[in-house]
């Protein structure tokens, strides 16, 4: 387990240039230098030198971070801001009463028990186990469905409906949470616990790709190799080229032989989650859609302002960021707002509520595609799903 002192060199690498101010969503709302990376580094440097203590005031500013990674991407020194803040948060929270309460609520007995319970009684009926493929050369996809699909498997159902038309096999395992909520709260022990468990399941499975439909899960899985090593020697942890793809990216890479026909013309816009590495799949995939017009919203790749516990601990700032995102979406006149993150869906709904505007339909892009009629590109007839072996 890394300690704050392990990042002393990185913290000192910050030149206090202030470039992070221009990209930090929180700073744009508050104008508070303590809310931006360089301000936090000044405080943490004081902690390392013994001039300050990790107290409630410092923790308040550590919590005032969306973990969107914009400052890291823009930092000339390439400082891993989120990992430093998560470690500092861990050292803040481990000896405080509220930190111990959070740790208890996030434990496998409470959080894990809730997920196990809801799997038995989901809000909608999940799809049957998917094992369809057409024949030789099919692709094996290990599906990391994420916590939201365990509670409300609407995107899972949509994914399996579309992927039944592909030459694939979807493999499912009883994965735990990816661990992002625990990282964000500084609960490093719990994160290491779920990481170890998930890696063991991955290690005992043969697959071509790991498939997700959540940008946050995808980003966290890819980041397993960046955290302290566990007991497993799986190549994902050792940094090997294990391919992790979101469902939309996989669809485009397959050069699919069918199109998505919508009954009437619709306008769509897209919100790019902070944890989505790239959205190169978006336009090629929408080109496969009939009766769909794409309109890019202003700052489509800006944070939605939700970010899990950030919205709970900083509700006013969260609503202000979400409101601006909603207003940008309204300006497009879109009927649908598409994204690839369930937390962003909640952030977008929050924004429309704060803006007092009529809410369009907000959903995962895979769920949107599943609404359409799937037609064969050559015959223009309904595409036949793969048969079950």
Domains of the chain by residue range:
4-95, 111-250, 257-375
According to CATH, the topology of domain 257-375 is Rossmann fold (3.40.50)
pLDDT computed for residue 96 by the predictor: 77
Among 102-111, 208-217, 326-335, the range scoring the smallest mean pLDDT is 102-111
Q: How many percent of the chain have pLDDT more than 70?
A: 90
Closest CA to 372 of 260, 286, 289, 294: 260
Q: What is the CA radius of gyration of the chain?
A: 22
The span from the CA of 104 to the CA of 94, in Å, is 11
CB 140 within 8 A of CB 171: yes
Quickly state the pLDDT bin for 232 (edges 50, 70, 90).
very low
Q: What are the beta bridge partners of residue 246?
A: 212
pLDDT computed for residue 237 by the predictor: 46
Judge whether residue 347 has pLDDT over 80. yes
pLDDT computed for residue 112 by the predictor: 82
**HSE toward the beta carbon, residue 49, CA cutoff 13 A:** 10
pLDDT computed for residue 227 by the predictor: 56
Quickly state the pLDDT bin for 349 (edges 50, 70, 90).
very high
CB 129 within 8 A of CB 349: no
- Report which DSSP code applies to 83: H
Whole-number average pLDDT of the chain: 88
Quickly state the pLDDT bin for 239 (edges 50, 70, 90).
very low
Among 104-108, 134-138, 364-368, the range scoring the smallest mean pLDDT is 134-138
pTM listed for this prediction: 0.90
The reply to whether 111-250 and 257-375 are identical in fold is yes
Residue 262's SS3 state is: strand
Beta-strand runs (E) in 303-372: 336-339, 361-364
The span from the CA of 140 to the CA of 250, in Å, is 12
The span from the CA of 244 to the CA of 221, in Å, is 8
CATH class of the region 111-250: alpha beta
């Amino acid at each position: 387990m890394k300690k704050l002192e392990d990042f002393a060199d990185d913290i000192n690498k910050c030149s206090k240039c202030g470039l992070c101010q221009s990209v930090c969503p929180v700073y744009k709302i508050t104008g508070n230098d303590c809310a931006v990376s360089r301000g936090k580094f000044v405080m943490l440097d004081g902690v390392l030198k013994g001039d300050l203590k990790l107290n409630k005031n410092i923790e308040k500013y550590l919590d005032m971070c969306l973990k969107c990674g914009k400052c890291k991407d823009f930092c000339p020194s390439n400082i891993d801001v989120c990992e430093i803040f998560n470690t500092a948060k861990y050292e803040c929270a481990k000896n405080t009463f509220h930190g111990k309460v959070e740790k208890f609520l996030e434990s496998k007995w409470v959080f894990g028990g809730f997920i196990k319970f809801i799997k038995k009684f989901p809000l909608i009926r999940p799809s049957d186990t998917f094992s369809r493929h057409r024949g030789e050369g099919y692709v094996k996809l290990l599906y990391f469905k994420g916590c939201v699909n365990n509670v409300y498997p609407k995107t899972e159902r949509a994914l399996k409906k579309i992927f039944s038309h592909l030459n694939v096999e979807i493999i499912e395992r009883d994965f735990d949470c990816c661990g992002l909520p625990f990282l964000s709260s500084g609960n490093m022990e719990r994160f290491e616990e779920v990481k170890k468990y998930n890696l063991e399941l991955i290690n005992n499975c043969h697959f071509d790709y790991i498939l997700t439909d959540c940008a946050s899960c995808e980003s966290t899985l890819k980041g397993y190799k960046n955290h302290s090593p566990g007991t497993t020697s799986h190549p994902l942890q050792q940094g090997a080229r294990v391919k992790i793809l979101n469902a939309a990216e996989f669809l485009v890479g397959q050069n699919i032989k069918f199109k998505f026909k919508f009954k009437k013309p619709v306008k769509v816009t897209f919100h790019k989650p902070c944890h989505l590495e790239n959205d190169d799949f978006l336009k090629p995939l929408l080109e496969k859609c009939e009766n769909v017009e794409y309109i890019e919203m202003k700052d489509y790749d800006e944070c939605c302002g939700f970010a899990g516990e950030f919205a709970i601990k900083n509700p006013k700032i969260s609503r202000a960021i979400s409101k601006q995102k909603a207003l940008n979406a309204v300006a497009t006149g879109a009927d649908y707002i598409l994204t690839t993150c369930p937390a962003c869906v909640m952030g977008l709904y929050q924004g429309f509520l704060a803006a007092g505007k009529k809410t369009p339909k907000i959903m995962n892009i895979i769920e949107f595609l599943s609404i359409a009629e799937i037609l064969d590109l050559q015959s223009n007839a309904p595409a036949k799903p793969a048969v079950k072996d």
